[in-house]
Structure 1
C-alpha cells in the first residue's frame, strides 16, 4: 500500500482585518459625501435639506476614521510617505495616496461650510465632492480588481458591488447617527422616508447587479462567477459564509421594505441602520478574509485565526470605539457651538 502525504504550508493573509475596516469606512464616507452634495441643493424646509446635518455627521465620522484604518493596515504608518517620495503612477495604491488627501480636504471644507451656515460655499464645493467621492470609489474597487491571482476579485463587478454596498451602509450609518443629533437638527418623518427611499433604490441596484453578474458568468463572460460557484461547492466555510450573508441581507432589505410605517417607532431606525451597516461589513469580510483562506494554487486551506491583538479583534473594537468617540465629540460640539444655520437658503 502506498501512502501519499500532502503538506500544506502555512501562509499569512496578505490583507489583515484593518483592510476590511478601511474599505467599509471609506465606502460609507463616499456615500455620505454624495448624499451631502445632493442635499446641498435641497429646497429650504424640504426633505433633502433636513438631511443635511445627518449627512455632515456621517461624512465627518466615517471620513476621519477611515485613514486611521488605512495607516494601521500599512503596518508602519511611515510607509505612507513612500507614496510621495517615490512616484509610481501605474499603481492604484499610489493614485489613492494622491486622491485621498483631496477627498479629506473637501470633507473638512464642506463640513465647515455647513457649520458656518455658508450655503453658497456648500453648493460650490458639492460638484468637486461628487468627483472626489467617485474617484475614491474607483480607486478602492480597482485595488481589488487588478489582483489577477484571485479570479473572484478580478472582475469589474467587484468595484460596483463595493460601491453599492458602501453607499447602502452610509444610509444605515445615517439612520444610526441621526439619533444622536440635537433635537433641532434631527431629520423629520419626510427626511427619514427620503433616506429609506435612497436605501431601497440602492438595494434594488444590488439585486440587478447580482443578476447581471450571474448571467455574465453563465454566458462565459465572467470567470468570477464560476470561481464563486467553485468556492461554494468545494469549501464548506465559504458556503456557510455566503448562505449566511444572503439570508442576513434578505432580512435587512425586507425590514427596509416594511419600514415605511415604522421609521418613527422607537429603536427601529437604530436596529435597521445597524443591520444595513453590518450587512455591508460582512460582505467585505467574506470578500477579503474569506477568499484569502482559499489557496491560489494546489489543495488545502490557508488557515486564518483571528488574533486578539491590534491586528485582529482589539483593532476592530478600537475602530468602533473611535467612531463612537467622534460621534460623541461632534454632538457635544453642536450643543456647545451650534451651527449658525441648519438651513440652506
Structure 2
C-alpha cells in the first residue's frame, strides 16, 4: 500500500460577510427599481401602495449597500484608486463609476415617488422636528409627477448596469471555477428579484396601510421571480461546462457542500409546493416571503463565502468559521440593523396622507 500525504495551506478568505451584505442589499435596491418601473408603465392606474414600498426599499437598501461595500474593502480610503487609475479590463473599475450613478438615480426616483407623502408647509409653526425635516425634503409644493416616468427609465437602465456589474465582477475571476460561469449574473439578478418581492410583501404587512390587492400583486411577482430563478439553476446544472462539474466534484468529497446542496433543494422544493397553492393564506404568504429572502441571502453566502473554501490551488477545502466580531456576525447584524433604522426613519417621514387622496 502506498500512502501519499497532501499538504494544503489554510488561507484566509478575502471576501468577508460584508460582501454578502453588499450584494444582497444592492440586489434589493435594483430589483425594486425594476418592479416599480414595470408597474408604472404596465398599469394605467398604478398601485400607490406598491410604488411606495418599492421606493422605501430601494432608498434604504441603496444607502446601506455602499456602506457594506466600503467595509469589505478593508481600507475604505483606497477606493479613490479606482478613479486615479484607468483599468478598462477590470469590472470593479467600471463599477466605481456605475455605482454612484445608480445611487444617485435610485435616490432621485425614490424621492419622486415618496414626495407626495412628505408633509407640506403650513401657516402655523410646527414643533415636530420630523415634520420640519419632511417639509425641507419636499423642496416646495410644485408638481413633480411629470418627471417620474423619465427618471424611472433612466434608473431602470442604471439598475441593469449594476445587476450586470455585480454579477460579472465575480464571474470574471477565472481562478475560481465555481464563479467563472456566465450563469452567475442571471442567477444573482433573479435571486435579487425574488428577495425584493418577498421583502416588499413583508413590508406591506408590517408598515401601516396594508392592502390585500398589493399583496396579491406581490404574490404574482414572487411566483414569476421564483420560476425564473429555478430555470436559471436548472440551466446552470444542465448546460454549464465549468462551474457545475466543479460543484459536482465538491459534492462527492465535502460534507459542508453536501449540506449546502440539501439546504438549496429543500428550500426550493418547499417554495415550489407553497407557491403552487392558488390562494395562499396570509400566514403562508409571510412564510413564503421570509423563505424567499432566506434563499436569496443564503445563495449569496454559498457563492461568495463558501466558494472561497474551495482552494484555487491544491486539494481539499479550507475551513471557515464565522467570527463574532465586525468581520462576521456583528457586521451582518449591524448591516441589517442600519437598514431597519433607516426604514423606521423613512416610514415616519412619509406617514402623511397626500391631499389628493383626502379629496377623493
**Highest CA radius of gyration, 1 or 2?**
2
Query: Is 1:41 aligned to residue 41 of structure 2?
Result: yes
Cα deviation for residue 257 of structure 1 reads: 3.0
Q: Which has the higher contact order (CA 8 A, sep 6+)?
A: 1
Cα deviation for residue 147 of structure 1 reads: 0.8
- The one-character-per-residue Cα deviations of 1:216-245 (angstroms, maximum 9, x if unpaired) are 14xxxx222111111111211111111112
CA distance in 2, matches of 1:342, 1:80: 45
- 2:139 maps to none
Q: 1:330 aligns with which of 331, 334, 346?
A: 346
Question: Given the superposition, is the C-alpha separation of residues 340 and 292 from structure 1 closer, same or farther in structure 2, using an over 3 Å criterion?
Answer: farther
CA distance in 2, matches of 1:341, 1:5: 76
**Residue 17 of structure 1 contacts residue 289 of structure 1 at CA under 8 Å; is this kept in 2?**
yes
CA distance in 2, matches of 1:2, 1:215: 38
Partner-residue secondary structure (3-state), 1:68: helix
Query: Is 1:177 aligned to residue 176 of structure 2?
Result: no
- 1:251 maps to 270
CA distance in 2, matches of 1:180, 1:210: 31
CA distance in 1, matches of 2:177, 2:224: 29
**Residue 30 of structure 2 contacts residue 163 of structure 2 at CA under 8 Å; is this kept in 1?**
yes
Q: Which runs of 5+ in 1 are unaligned?
A: none
Partner-residue secondary structure (3-state), 2:305: helix
Shifted more, 237-246 versus 203-212: the winner is 203-212
CA distance in 1, matches of 2:31, 2:333: 23
Q: 2:170 aligns with which of 136, 144, 154?
A: 144
Cα deviation for residue 170 of structure 1 reads: 0.5
Q: 1:131 aligns with which of 150, 157, 160?
A: 157
Question: Given the superposition, is the C-alpha separation of residues 64 and 339 from structure 1 closer, same or farther in structure 2, using an over 3 Å criterion?
Answer: farther
CA distance in 2, matches of 1:259, 1:73: 42
- 1:305 maps to 321
Q: Counterparts of 1:160-239 in structure 2 under 5 Å?
A: 160-183=186-209, 186=210, 188-217=211-240, 222-239=241-258
**Residue 201 of structure 2 contacts residue 289 of structure 2 at CA under 8 Å; is this kept in 1?**
yes
CA distance in 1, matches of 2:108, 2:315: 52
CA distance in 2, matches of 1:341, 1:42: 22
- 2:16 maps to 16
Q: Counterparts of 1:102-141 in structure 2 under 5 Å?
A: 102-117=101-116, 118-141=144-167
Question: Given the superposition, is the C-alpha separation of residues 6 and 190 from structure 1 closer, same or farther in structure 2, using an over 3 Å criterion?
Answer: same
Q: CA RMSD in A?
A: 2.1
Shifted more, 286-295 versus 269-278: the winner is 269-278
Cα deviation for residue 120 of structure 1 reads: 1.6
Q: Provide the aligned length of Structure 1 versus Structure 2.
A: 331
Q: 1:295 aligns with which of 311, 316, 320?
A: 311
Partner-residue secondary structure (3-state), 1:296: coil
Q: TM-score, normalised by structure 1?
A: 0.89
**Residue 274 of structure 2 contacts residue 288 of structure 2 at CA under 8 Å; is this kept in 1?**
yes
- 1:31 maps to 31
Q: TM-score, normalised by structure 2?
A: 0.86
Cα deviation for residue 159 of structure 1 reads: 0.7
Partner-residue secondary structure (3-state), 1:97: helix
CA distance in 2, matches of 1:272, 1:334: 28
CA distance in 2, matches of 1:17, 1:94: 22
**Residue 141 of structure 1 contacts residue 159 of structure 1 at CA under 8 Å; is this kept in 2?**
yes
- The one-character-per-residue Cα deviations of 1:256-293 (angstroms, maximum 9, x if unpaired) are 3326241xx3x444332221111100111111111111
Query: Is 1:274 aligned to residue 290 of structure 2?
Result: yes
CA distance in 2, matches of 1:257, 1:280: 19
